[in-house]
Amino acid sequence: MKVLTASFRFIHIFLVMLAKVLLAAMVILTSTNVFMRYVMNSGIGWSEEISLVIVVWFTFISMALGVKQRLHISMCLLPKNLPPRIDFLLARVSDLVTLFLGYVMIHYGWILVQFTNRSILPASEFPASVMYFPLVLCGVLVTYESIMNFFGFDKGDADLDRTLSGGGCSIDA
């Protein structure tokens, strides 16, 4: 179990850094293209396509990291002073729904990757599956995080999350 936890911790660190690099690359690429188009009267032909690929990757990576830290939107329709047993049960139901979502992302994402692997993006000539692979990757991460949360396994990376997120607001607050 420790090897699995350490592996996913490494993947988590890598994805946080990748998300930061992708965001910076998208800003630089888009800004450069705007400058080239309006000042130099010639744009970068592939920049819009690559920016779209970067946005897709950034979005799905961020979504997986949000599941890890339980940052997604939730609704509090029930009173806050529910009995602990019911609160525990509702948390498990939430984890099961998230686990199912992860499965759907993996299953249908893989179908999309296989289907779109036969075509190419016109400007960059990358396989079109590059747009859908983040769905599979995110599905694996969402499934892992859901299982870990459902069974209450300690991932031992709360300090790591605070460090990588810049010490923002606490999840437990």
pLDDT tens-place string over residues 49-96? 999 999 999 999 988 888 877 777 666 677 777 888 988 888 899 889
Tell me how far the alpha carbon of residue 125 is from its chain's centroid: 25
pLDDT score for 94: 86
pLDDT score for 171: 43
Cα separation, 130 vs 36, in Å, equals 26
pLDDT score for 166: 58
Reduced to 3 states, what is the DSSP secondary structure of residue 168? coil
Query: Which residue is associated with the tokens 């209450």?
Result: 152
**Residues of the chain scoring pLDDT < 50:** 168-173
pLDDT score for 90: 85
Which tokens is 86 given? Answer: 């019911």
